[in-house]
Structure 1
């Protein structure tokens, strides 16, 4: 939880330009019938490419359960899908919430999609999260690569991306998008959804023998519910934490972020992160849009104080947002960063970086996040 609540954001430049708001579309993967794990029983089908875990009788899933099921899952995963490192989403156990759904699908090319569904209030929201996880599983059953998700319907649980999707996030040819990770938190006061992609720059082009260049791009969706007489977002934070896990950032650390600095009011512009002077092939691009909200980038700020919220963002890409009178609609910023990481070659499982979101809705703090691990 924040050490201090947000204030009115004094001192932030409020000049702005107006434009249409862009919508980020991100990817997913899929295959055939799932492996199904419940809270107390385990049932297996013929498929070895989907792991689904669902809380039973309202009881949340435990870390021990999830870790054990993941070990079994990767032992049974066909070798043809384990030829390259697999970067997949796992729950962020440092967030004070309960896990009610976990879905992992590894596509034909070894690139997975994952879903972590949580609720800090349980009850009917836990049931809602569980239903959402079941729908995610049904969406990924017939998918074979992360470009193959059909996102034409409004109620899709996951969002699609491709190299040619100019309306969403586009990866230059030097980047390899590794997976799609989704975190969903539902509370009485609102919901948070993070849909993000980790990507690695071509290690034959990065110019380093002892480090790798990685990127995160993420859509952070915040929906306030009508709660205690209002439905408003007052403060929010989005973050990409490169310090989380066993692979440490190395010099020159976080080398590219967007958006940068401060953006005040309704704004829309082309954003992107890149590798040096590589041009289009080394760039990941998207449309950044925000409504009448003030944004301040706080990447790498040590004990920096913004909007009266103090936190250490060392080797973390982070952005803070404040609505002076509260924002009463869905807010969905897209953010990205790129960082140098020590070589991720390994045997077994290695914990990697994470993405997180936090929002104050109707006076209540809500958090969502997903970590990642690498299976080599």
Structure 2
């Protein structure tokens, strides 16, 4: 008789709900939890400081709720987040908690989402049992522009989002400021779908299952996940705008000091990479600019198996282990990488990719020279 290991359950989708103070996260969470689509959802709520009032605003829901009360989730309580997620799994596996099939994590208004993403993506056990479904960022139409002007954290929350939910447009001030805010968010993060809360657009169908896989976990939703066409169009528009202003001597008066540091662009190529070349590309990026890689998502064609591309996802210096897809999801067989970065010239990444892919490019360093780069990996990397 052959003993077989028990089959590991599919990873549980986890949605991060973030947004600056007063953006309406708890109100949206209440509305979402009232939907049948969020039945059997585990809710993690982080409180700010020692004043435990946030969770009192959440209506009673059927199921289990964990209230984390150790402070700001972006710094000291990361260990508590790991403990809470691990404890939930232990209770689930031991039958001490009602089965849950989704996790919603509401952060504090001051939270930088990047460390939370690091925790979920880099912890060996959590990365097996949970999968990041998406980052949903709320922006208040009344105060959103002023908040983005004043707080770099708010800009980063918007920049890393998969969905941007604009709230308070039902108020006269919010309605009057919507168009300018929407334009600003589109420039800041063209990859994210923008939704208006007051019209009902911010519903479960629009906010959930916005990762690489749909609810079945089987069909890769690459086009929806990357939204690379929107990113490429926005990048091209930025170039035209910049060239026009430069030619006519106009200053960029409409770009806020925080926004100006953020760039979104796409690198696409028909040429497949060797696994070693792709490892070198990622390692050089991580070591040279890791803290400034706010979000990296992509599908990569590799020379070792051209029929089965690799999906990659990174946040700053942390990259999730690449996942080999069963096949290309559609007729587009190009490598497509979407970058949202802070204080990085896109041409550096574009030229670096051209070099490791051995694609001719103006002023691109020779690929062989990169092999001697001290930042190049000396050992097996992501795909080694």
TM range (shorter): under 0.3
Structure with higher RCO (Cα < 8 A, 6+ apart):
1
Hey, which of these two has a bigger chunk of strand by percent? 1
Hey, which of these two has a bigger chunk of helix by percent? 2
The TM-score normalised by the length of structure 1 is 0.27
Larger radius of gyration: 2
The TM-score normalised by the length of structure 2 is 0.27
